[in-house]
Amino acid sequence: MGLGDEYVPHLGHWAYQEGAPNDEWFLAFAQTQSYGRLALWYLRHPQWAYQILASDLHGPAAHIRMPILSNYRKEDGFPPGAQAHSHQFWSSFRSRMIRLYPWHLPVWFSIYLSAFGAVMWFRRGTPDARFAVVAFAVGVMALVEFAIPSLADGAETDRHLFLFHALTDASILLALTAAIAAAPFKSSRGTAPAAAARSQPC
């Protein structure tokens, strides 16, 4: 991005830390740099974009319940950062899966988008295709919601990944819905009389 050596002392810091540059410095910086220039830099240096995305996948992505954010009120008397443990199974399970197998997320979305993309293409004009359009859009939104905090935010990436996790949960529910709808379930109560009727001589 053409930044000089004078920016090196600020690496690894953010605006609210002690000793951070003042508002005038940030205004001057914003006049010379932009998200457009940052995106162009990523396009010219894809290896850096990959490293940042992979680093966040192995780190902040696992913090579905951000450790520094409490879900108790201050007047409840709990220490800072205390979190409730009721109804936490799904979030804890997903966090553990990401910590142990972080690459299951890109694998999941690769399969998810390929499957619904195929339905959109091969079943055009059907209710299945319209459902696939919605499901596909949710998957794309999830990937965008991962990329923006990872590549454009400087701090608290885990907090900014909240929508990514919500959309990931939505993609799982949509995939389950599609799988149940496509399963060849047949009611024995409904098929038995039909089979008996077919077996009767005319």
Per-residue pLDDT of 129-171, as tens digits, reads 999 999 999 999 999 999 999 998 777 788 889 899 999 999 9
Tell whether 16 is covered by a domain.
no
Q: Would 5 be classed as within a structural domain?
A: no
Q: How many domains does the chain have?
A: 1
Q: Provide the whole-model pTM.
A: 0.76
> Does some domain include residue 75?
no
pLDDT for 1 equals 57
Q: Quote the CA–CA distance of 64 and 143 in Å, as a whole number.
A: 16
Name the residue among 162, 129, 128 with its Cα closest to residue 146.
162
Could you tell me if residue 170 is inside a domain? yes
The list of the chain residues with pLDDT below 50 reads 190, 192-193, 202
**What pLDDT shows up at residue 58?**
92
Are 146 and 164 in contact, with CB atoms under 8 Å apart? yes
Question: What residue numbers bound the domain in which 52 lies?
Answer: 46-67+88-182
Residue 55 lies in a domain: yes
Token representation of residue 25: 């410095």
What does the pLDDT read at residue 31?
Answer: 77
How much is the pLDDT for 6? 72
Give CA–CA dist 51/49, Å, rounded.
6
Q: How far apart are CA 148 and CA 155, in angstroms?
A: 12
| Residue 193 resides in a domain | no
**The predicted structure's pLDDT at residue 36:** 85
pLDDT at 186: 52
Using only C-alpha atoms, the chain has a radius of gyration, in whole angstroms, of 24
The pLDDT value recorded for residue 101 is 94
**Residue 130 is assigned to a structural domain of this protein:** yes
Question: What's the pLDDT score for residue 38?
Answer: 85
Residue 69 contacts residue 81 (beta carbons within 8 Å): yes
Candidates 136, 124, 131; CA nearest to 171 is: 136
CA distance linking residue 75 with residue 84, whole number of Å? 15
